[in-house]
Each structure stands twice: as structure tokens, then as C-alpha cells.
Amino acid sequence: MALSREELAARYGTALFGYAQDVKMLDSIHDELKELKQAIEENPKIVSVLSDPVLRMNEKEKILTSIESGLSEQVQNFLNLVLEYNRFSVICDVIDYFNTLYDQEKAIASGIATTAVKMDDDQLKRLGESLAKKYNLNTVRLENQVDPKIIGGVILNVKDIVIDGSVKNRLKKIRTQLIEEN
């Protein structure tokens, strides 16, 4: 029975995460994987070439060797293992799974702050710091989405937490109260 992308990502991501912890290189491997994923996103053909069943393994290894320069021996060995087992098509999923485990380990959360007008980086940072303090996290990384329909305020989606502090929501609550009172 073939494994799904999610199962493969979980297996390889968990294995790499455990290995990174064992060799006490969790942060550096995380940083390298972040750069690798960015390079892959900028050049998506890398994955298709290294996943191509027609291309010979020795040709794939040469290509991978040129990509690996500058990466630690540990990450290079992992990428070679992924290539050897013909799993390069899921490398981005593996990196994402590794990052999820990393964020859990380091008490980091990511989320979206929806506002009527664009927030600057300082505002996002301060809002993230306040959320981190409130929910006992080390860091909350926020991405800003603009939605003029909320009129004002902010809607926060972090992990499984939703905080709706939008003007639209407040007006809706006031309207409901007025209807109930009449």
C-alpha cells in the first residue's frame, strides 16, 4: 500500500527532527531547511527534475550535489537519503512538517491578523508579542491580511484561537442586543 504525501512528510519530517535534536543542531538545520525551501519555491523545477523517473540516479546525484553546496553534512545526508528513496517530490511537505515540529518544540505560533488597513511591521510585532505573553508562547509570527469589510479593529487567527475584535462584529453584537431588547 502506497503512503500518502502527508504520511511520507510525517515520517521523514519526524525522522529529521529527531536526528536534529540528537546531534544538537535543531536551530541550524531549521535555518538551512528554511533557505532550501525558499530556493525550491524560487526554482520549482528542482523538485520535478530530482523526481523525474526517466533521469538516471547518477545525474540526479550530480544535480543535488550542486544544490547542496553550503549546507551542513547532516542536511546533505538527509537530502541524499530522500533522493535515494525517490521521495524528493515531497521534500517541501517534509520541510513543512519539520517546521511544524520545530514550532511546537520552541513554542512558536503563526497566525493571521486581518485588519481594514495595512499594519506596519512594528504593529504586527507588538501585537504578536502581546499574544505570545497572553498564551505563554515564546513567539507569535503574524501575517497581515487586509479586508476593508471589517471596517476597523482586528480579527486574529492563531492556531485554533480566533479573536474577533472587528468593528463589524461589535456592530453586529449591538444590533443583536437591540433586537433582543425590543
User: What pLDDT does 181 receive?
Assistant: 82
User: What pLDDT does 136 receive?
Assistant: 92
pTM score, two decimals? Answer: 0.81
User: What pLDDT does 2 receive?
Assistant: 78
DSSP code of 152?
Answer: S
- pLDDT tier for residue 153 given thresholds of 50, 70 and 90: very high
- 3-state DSSP helix/strand/coil % of the chain, to nearest 5: 65, 15, 25
Q: How far apart are CA 77 and CA 176, in angstroms?
A: 60
**At a CB cut-off of 8 Å and minimum separation 6, what does 46 contact?**
39, 40, 63, 67
Q: Could you give the percent of the chain with pLDDT greater than 70?
A: 99
Mean pLDDT on 41-69? 92
Report the largest interatomic distance among the alpha carbons of the chain, rounded to a whole angstrom: 78
pLDDT at position 164 over 90:
yes
